[in-house]
A and B are shown apart, each in its own frame.
Chain A
Amino acid sequence: MAEGAAASRGGLGKALPLLAPAYLWLTVAIFLPLSAMVFFSFMTDLPLTGKPWAFTLGNYAAFFSQSLYLTLLLASLRLGLEVTLWCVVIGYPAAYVLAKVLKGRSREAIFLLVILPFWSNGLVRIFSWAMVLREGGILDAALNAVLPFKINIDLMYSYPAVIIGLVHSYVPYMVLTCYLTLQAIDDSLIEAGRSLGASRLQVLKRVIIPLSMPGLVAGAALIFVPVVGSFMEPRILGGRTGTFYGTVIEDQFVAVFNWPLGAALSFILLAVVLVILAVASPVLRRAA
């Protein structure tokens, strides 16, 4: 924004009454809870249950001493990486076609169709994959109807099922962010490259991909972070193979009731996420 070009300079005194309600709400429901989580993660037990409690580093020690948690965190990071890569591979070409091939009303309509599912209920969309992937499900039936030989497709409760469900959930993000940067690229740059004798591949490598990098990074951050913290998708589509870092945190709060350990695990995840966002932020800021 133009630094307050004509915005009245009343300062904080006038702004505060208008800002206070919104930011008080965010403080009570977001910032204080996050601080409380850090605080509780250093306790042996919740002080509310009446049981004695003390400060401890035990919850963090548990993370570093039992290889299970680290293994699961790495598994979740790998899941996030794989899903992000698939989203790039699937989403980027679609974003390119939307930005550079389609024109006018059809571009507008298809763009809306691509991002529409993103704003519908994620849980329900994951559930819809369960319909498709289970044995005797639609994929199984359709493939057996087409193929001359009998095959059994039972992807349900497997790692690929989790990947498919998550990619389906998050690929519209990648299309959206890449489309925004791709459509900002001037067509004449591409034509100039071509008329100077560069092949299509060279133009892609030297002009289009570098210029759309902010969109790629923004999309990757927006996908990677929530996927690392996912628990509902692996639970529904992964079954017993779907144990990840997120599902272990969920267990601490709804099954095992070891809240301090859950808080410590959540905080470690938050730290990892913040580091990743910090690394991505210079590129993100250029994209904004």
Chain B
Amino acid sequence: MMTTRILEWLGRIYVWLLLAFLYLPIIIMALMSFNASPFYQLPFEWTTDWYASLWQNDQLISATWNSLKIAVITTIICVVLGTTASLALFRYEFRGKKLLQALLFPPIAIPWLITGTAMLIFFFGVGIGRGLFAILLGHVALALPYVIVVVSARLQTFAPELEEAARSLGANQWQVTNRVTLPWIMPGVIAGGLFAFAVSFDQFVVSYFLSTPGQTTLPVEIYAAIRKGFTPEINAVSTIIIVVSMALMLLTARFFKFGGEK
């Protein structure tokens, strides 16, 4: 049994090494955003100047606002459309249901490069063009399947007999949904909403093809800045993004178990 214990300890060490691999670059990037040297020179000298100068950067600030606005609107639309669609898929049997469920996977599985360029061509062709509205159209389409999948997963744990019971007690369809079903699936709806926000807020590829110089989002702006050259200012804004999106996912994890049953 000695070897088993040694192997187990090696396993534990290995997992910590993987965590180091995953987090070290992010931590280094964050540290460098507090380093005074604009060329990332050591020794380390503490400063918050780069964060202060972010406030002077109008381009970044307006891109951040765009990102937040689009993410919030995307979340609201996806939660409403996604929850109603999930309920319909859960409650009713009809021909073609399997097909509708299968249609949710292309938006998730097809590389964003293909989806993004296809949207660019089509939106241009029908006169929607590029810009914030086109980006919003795209983000909702990308996030919606995730919301439907997450809410449907939660609905699987719902006992339809509860709806029957409420109905037999005289509740109408609206009351059944509002008082019985929705409260039960709320954790799924919240998790789906957080997913939608994260998909939109972190989305780069599709936004990149659909943005115009004035109408752009934060990741697109960062990509442009990286290609011009690295500055600690990008580190500062990147650090803020990573903290925000990780906090969001921690929040999501409270509502949704990724690892299945324990």
Contact = CB atoms under 8 A, between A and B. Distances in A.
A97 B13 CA distance: 10
Interface in A246-274: 246, 249-250, 253-254, 259, 262-263, 266, 269-270, 273
The secondary-structure label for the interface of chain B is helix
Contacts of A98: 15
Contact of B15 (A4, A102, A117): A102
Interface string A36-50: 110010000011100
Contacts of B183: none
A30 B115 contact: yes
Contact of B22 (A33, A124, A168, A262): A168
Given A25-B81, A183-B260, A120 B249 contact: yes
B122 A7 contact: no
A121 B198 CA distance: 9
B261 to A, nearest CB: 9
B156 interface: yes
Contacts, number: 282
A120 B247 CA distance: 9
Contact of A253 (B15, B117, B249, B259): B117
Contact residue range for chain B? 35 or more
Interface of A: 1, 3-12, 14-16, 18-19, 21-23, 25-26, 28-34, 36-37, 40, 46-48, 90, 93-94, 96-98, 101-102, 108, 110-117, 119-125, 127-132, 137-138, 141, 168, 171-172, 175-176, 179-180, 183, 200, 225-226, 228-232, 235-236, 246, 249-250, 253-254, 259, 262-263, 266, 269-270, 273, 277
A219 B124 CA distance: 35
13 contacts: A19-B88, A21-B81, A37-B118, A40-B121, A46-B124, A48-B124, A110-B19, A117-B22, A119-B249, A119-B252, A120-B249, A128-B29, A250-B113
B234 interface: yes
A108 B262 contact: yes
Interface in B236-256: 238, 241-242, 245-246, 248-250, 252-253
Which of A120, A229, A259: most chain B Cβ within 10 A? A120
Nearest to A274: B110
B8 A262 contact: no
Contacts of B40: 131, 137
A127 B121 contact: no
Given A34-B114, A125-B242, A128-B26, 15 more contacts: A3-B93, A19-B89, A30-B118, A37-B117, A46-B125, A47-B125, A94-B15, A97-B11, A110-B15, A124-B238, A128-B29, A183-B259, A253-B120, A266-B117, A269-B114
A266 B93 contact: no
B42 interface: yes
List the 5 shortest-distance A-B pairs measured between CB atoms, nearest first: A229-B111, A29-B141, A18-B88, A33-B122, A128-B29
B214 interface: no
Interface of B: 7-8, 11-12, 14-15, 18-19, 21-26, 28-29, 32, 40, 42, 77, 81-82, 84-85, 87-97, 100, 103, 106-107, 109-115, 117-125, 137-138, 140-141, 144-145, 148, 156, 160-161, 163-164, 198, 202, 204-205, 208-209, 219, 222-223, 226-227, 230, 234-235, 238, 241-242, 245-246, 248-250, 252-253, 258-260, 262
Contact of A229 (B94, B114, B198, B204): B114
B165 to A, nearest CB: 10
Contacts of A1: 90, 156
Contacts of A130: 226, 230
B250 to A, nearest CB: 7
A124 B144 contact: no
A32 B258 CA distance: 32
